[in-house]
Structure 1
Amino acid sequence: MIHMSVDDVARATGAEVLLPGSVDVAGEVVIDSRLAAPGGLFVAFAGERVDGNAYLGAAARLGAAAVVASAEPAPEALAEARECGCAVLRAEGDDCEEFLLRLARAWREAHPDWLVVAVTGSVGKTTTKEMLAAAFGSQRRCHATRGNLNNLIGGPLTVLSAPDDTEVLVCELGMNHPHEIERLAAACQPALAAITNVGTSHIGILGSRENIARAKAEIVSGMRALGELPRTLALTSSCDYTPFIEEGFARPAGVEVVRVGAAPADAVRAESVSLDDEGRPTARVLCSDGWSREVTLSVPGRAAVDDLLLAVALVWRAGLDRDAALDAVAAMTATSMRLDVREAPCGARVIDDSYNAAPASMASSLDVLAQMACPGRRVAVLGEMGELGGEAVRLHGYVGAYAAAKGVDLLVLIGGELADAMAEAARTMGLSEDRVERLATVEDAVRVIAPVLGAGDLVLVKASRAAGLDGFVRGVLQR
């Protein structure tokens, strides 16, 4: 929570004070008026379906010390605020997104002793964030991004919601467009950062993987040292764009780079990686100073090992106990809707990875499906992926071909034209017609597929969030 006078809020953000309040802001910053609480600050976004400016008075009645409008407040809202002693501000340019970013930056700068750790990347950033939070949280008072609230609104809210006793702040930075990572990094100002990889997510917006790499590399622009701890960026040596980011962005900015992976020259590397029948990886983690440790993760999939290496690199860089950090990471459970293995009443096991998807993460999840023990059928229920632009048909085709190469017993494809592209590629790669099921909607899939699943079956469910495949998971689990 923040502690600032209304005038200080206005100075930090450029907002205009329309009505001075009777108390300072001392509470949570929220964007949902129903969550407004005594002493807090409500920021009124004008959304497509709900206009927060209609709820300025409601937030004042709940005790908010101040409300921020993104349009001319209604006279009755001003009257209610005045009656409640609530300040009313208007965001500069009616831009509440920029208001939050500026406020977060000011609050971050008021806490120069925070160790801020940030992570971005095309795939795996939420898992890496959770590992970082567990690792640092095992030894320091740690606050981290909730869920995947990693955009230009969720990012600053993470900074602004840090408890008073925070020592380490772990921030996940997401983006859809150029300069978004730059703006988020300016708000949180990390000393330590990691880029998980450069994939094809948002290639429809950014145009090329090189542009995606440039966007991820923007994290460097906001980094700042913490005392004697220099700015350090951890990168995976297996990513083909790591040299591009290191030489083109990190080193020119004076940011040190730590590489992780399987190469002998990597500062942190993994050896003897194996997966058990549940897809959980075991690996020996080694650091260039001679430290090593074997660990088994509860998060399934070989890709989780690289995420772990990034976390170990930054914990080591911060001078913390790596053994304690690994103990904490090993005790983690799967994040909801991200490779979360659940038992259905019919006896099938469901790998719920329905939260989001990109071509690389689709392949990684199909690897998990192929590697886990399965006495029954291996079933892949896949939906469409978003923001791939002109590459969408080709990249969906790759996913269908990869599913066929993995030898799934049943490939269920949900959606429209892009699902057709996956189906066509799977058939071209030799998956027989009786092993490919095309369905238009999630409801169709629940109706057709859920009744035929049984004991011993292993079912992967994955798509972009907009596809709504979490509805299929619910349908299976509720039968």
Structure 2
Amino acid sequence: MPNWTLNEITQAVNGKAMNTESIKPVSGVSFDTRTLSQGDLFIPLTAERNGHDFIQTAIDKGASAALWSDPVENAPDDIPVIKVKDTLKAFQSFAKYYLHDVSPKVIGITGSNGKTTTKDMVAAVSSFKYKTHKTDGNFNNHLGLPKTILDMDRDTEVIVLEMGMSEKGEIDTLSKIARPDIAVITMIGESHIEYLGSRDGIAEAKLEIVEGMDQGTLIYPGEEQLLYTRINNGWVDRKVKTIKTFGKTEGVDLFSTEIQTAMKQTIFKTNQKPDVACTLPIPGEYNVQNALAAILAGEALGVSTEDSYAQLSSFKLTKNRLEWLDGINGSTLLNDAYNASPSSMRAVLNYFKGIDVAGRKIIVLGDILELGAGAEAIHRDLHKRIDAGSFDEVILYGDLMHHLYEAMSEKTNASKIHFFSGDKNTLVSYLEKNLRSNDTVLFKSSFSTGMLEVVTKLRQQENV
């Protein structure tokens, strides 16, 4: 557990300490009083609401100190406060200071899909040789990344940081806080195309991950022309010393040669170890690409391929990613409802189509968000990925999924396809009445659709 003095924090954020008569050690940080623990430094952020308004709650819950950017006369006098111009920037500066102080190897991971899975894989590989700290859940933005840094123990040797974005410039900010030694780009898809305009714009935004580097290692999918062209034209030369590529065919440094998929695992071989198989405890051929990136990251850390294989065989995936659950009425649920993009939707549908199950195979799909003007066409085109003969029922939820419903209704037996919108209880009621023993149900949608609520209600209660 980290511990800091008030003076140390004050210097790190270039602030001015006040009310220092009673000083207690700081053992953590929190910008949300709902999760604040005794001994935390409270960071009142100003966004939709002014976090300074919750200072008394922070004090009551045992905060040791607080940053402060509101007028000094409004500051409490019964807790030390550090006056700063901007609490968010001070928070990020504190994270930069602590990262430099601990000085672990830093691995940054970004991409349109697969960030969290790759983060979990890289952390597993790294932990074979080093004490490793990683992003918790999806804490990958301008708040989550500095929080992850400040949560690490002082004896951490490697930190694995997921970097998410929705707009240009966000990865640049995160990279300059983290200063990665190793940067991984998983793939370029259509996520956040609403804000970035095109896959070209997405590729440029993802390459911002090198901006905080100093002659580090970049790992990326070498078959992605949007990245390859820019990198080959010198975009990263001043920041990157070593480049490693992964993919599906010859021409990259590491590629898969054989892949076998099953209901709950994936087995593959590579060009580097053609006679040795790696077994992943998760399904989906697309996850092999994430594993290849993790193996290359392991190489950069000095972890052998054999040891990486061993670590990958038992790595733990973050909750709500391809999570098999026991459902009501003897059904089985495959929960992948935390996030969605067109590419991840297509990939999981392709996987689900290929598995063998004992009973009916049902898919429940919710809206894919942040697609901008192309949202209607993208949802409609998903019908090309849904072979009606491979699924017993297709259940769609959300305004955008109505476009897929219309496209499928033209060619699919009406009894196989169902559409819901608005109140999710109607969807839940339908599934509660119709799910039966040996049914296998895939749930996939963007997080904001609330599909996780549906999954929770359909789980066997003793397992929730």
Q: TM-score, normalised by structure 2?
A: 0.92
Other-structure match for 2:322: 339
**What is the number of equivalent residue pairs in this alignment?**
459
Q: How many Å separate the matches in 2 of 1:74 and 1:372? A: 65
Q: How many Å separate the matches in 2 of 1:70 and 1:466? A: 32
Candidates 262, 268, 277, aligned match of 2:254: 268
Q: For residues 25 and 374 of structure 1, do their structure 2 counterparts lie closer, same or farther at Cα, with a shift above 3 Å needed?
A: same
Q: How many Å separate the matches in 2 of 1:156 and 1:478? A: 37
How far apart are residue 253 of structure 1 and its match? 3.0
Q: For residues 148 and 320 of structure 1, do their structure 2 counterparts lie closer, same or farther at Cα, with a shift above 3 Å needed?
A: same
Does structure 2 retain, via aligned residues, the 8 Å contact 1:213–1:245?
Answer: no
Other-structure match for 1:423: 405
Q: How many Å separate the matches in 2 of 1:309 and 1:470? A: 29
Give the secondary-structure state (helix, strand or coil) at the position aligned to 2:325: strand
Candidates 179, 196, 217, aligned match of 2:186: 196
Q: For residues 65 and 407 of structure 1, do their structure 2 counterparts lie closer, same or farther at Cα, with a shift above 3 Å needed?
A: same
Does structure 2 retain, via aligned residues, the 8 Å contact 1:155–1:171?
Answer: yes
Larger deviation, residues 190-199 vs 434-443: 434-443
Does structure 2 retain, via aligned residues, the 8 Å contact 1:53–1:73?
Answer: no
Q: CA RMSD in A?
A: 2.3
Other-structure match for 1:435: 416
How far apart are residue 9 of structure 1 and its match? 2.9
Larger deviation, residues 379-388 vs 53-62: 53-62
Q: How many Å separate the matches in 1 of 2:457 and 2:359? A: 20
Q: Percent identity?
A: 27
Candidates 64, 73, 77, aligned match of 1:79: 77
Q: How many Å separate the matches in 2 of 1:190 and 1:331? A: 26
- Pairs within 5 Å for 1:208-357: 208-224=198-214, 231-247=216-232, 248-276=234-262, 278-287=263-272, 293-357=276-340
Larger deviation, residues 232-241 vs 120-129: 232-241
5+ residue gaps, structure 2, are: none
Other-structure match for 1:458: 440
Other-structure match for 1:228: none
How far apart are residue 466 of structure 1 and its match? 0.5
Q: For residues 367 and 166 of structure 1, do their structure 2 counterparts lie closer, same or farther at Cα, with a shift above 3 Å needed?
A: same
How far apart are residue 478 of structure 1 and its match? 4.0
Larger deviation, residues 354-363 vs 35-44: 35-44
Larger deviation, residues 30-39 vs 293-302: 30-39
Does structure 2 retain, via aligned residues, the 8 Å contact 1:116–1:168?
Answer: yes
Q: How many Å separate the matches in 2 of 1:308 and 1:25? A: 41
5+ residue gaps, structure 1, are: 82-86, 226-230
Larger deviation, residues 388-397 vs 259-268: 259-268
Candidates 129, 141, 166, aligned match of 2:119: 129
Candidates 99, 102, 107, aligned match of 1:108: 99
- CA deviations on 1:2-58 (whole Å, 9 max, x unpaired) are 54443443443344545446437531111123544454311012353x543123233
Q: How many Å separate the matches in 2 of 1:136 and 1:437? A: 45
- CA deviations on 1:256-282 (whole Å, 9 max, x unpaired) are 210112222322221110112x15211
2:346 partner amino acid: A
Q: How many Å separate the matches in 1 of 2:305 and 2:56? A: 50
Q: How many Å separate the matches in 1 of 2:371 and 2:252? A: 32
Q: How many Å separate the matches in 2 of 1:38 and 1:437? A: 50
Q: How many Å separate the matches in 1 of 2:425 and 2:52? A: 36
- CA deviations on 1:181-230 (whole Å, 9 max, x unpaired) are 111111111111110001111110111111111111000011235xxxxx
How far apart are residue 100 of structure 1 and its match? 1.9
Q: For residues 21 and 460 of structure 1, do their structure 2 counterparts lie closer, same or farther at Cα, with a shift above 3 Å needed?
A: farther
Other-structure match for 2:397: 414
Give the secondary-structure state (helix, strand or coil) at the position aligned to 1:300: coil
Does structure 1 retain, via aligned residues, the 8 Å contact 2:217–2:240?
Answer: no
Larger deviation, residues 35-44 vs 263-272: 35-44
Other-structure match for 1:55: 54
Larger deviation, residues 183-192 vs 14-23: 14-23
Q: How many Å separate the matches in 2 of 1:470 and 1:70? A: 37
Q: For residues 47 and 371 of structure 1, do their structure 2 counterparts lie closer, same or farther at Cα, with a shift above 3 Å needed?
A: same
Q: How many Å separate the matches in 2 of 1:286 and 1:203? A: 34
- Pairs within 5 Å for 1:384-395: 384-395=367-378
2:441 partner amino acid: V
- CA deviations on 1:382-426 (whole Å, 9 max, x unpaired) are 11111111111111112233224774221111112x111111222
Q: For residues 264 and 41 of structure 1, do their structure 2 counterparts lie closer, same or farther at Cα, with a shift above 3 Å needed?
A: same
Does structure 2 retain, via aligned residues, the 8 Å contact 1:363–1:399?
Answer: yes
Candidates 349, 356, 359, aligned match of 1:376: 359
Larger deviation, residues 360-369 vs 336-345: 336-345
Other-structure match for 2:170: 180
Q: How many Å separate the matches in 2 of 1:238 and 1:378? A: 33
How far apart are residue 331 of structure 1 and its match? 0.8
1:163 partner amino acid: D
Q: How many Å separate the matches in 2 of 1:14 and 1:405? A: 62
1:12 partner amino acid: A
Q: TM-score, normalised by structure 1?
A: 0.89
1:398 partner amino acid: D
2:96 partner amino acid: R
Q: How many Å separate the matches in 2 of 1:209 and 1:262? A: 20
Does structure 1 retain, via aligned residues, the 8 Å contact 2:184–2:219?
Answer: yes
Larger deviation, residues 14-23 vs 165-174: 14-23
Does structure 2 retain, via aligned residues, the 8 Å contact 1:24–1:65?
Answer: yes
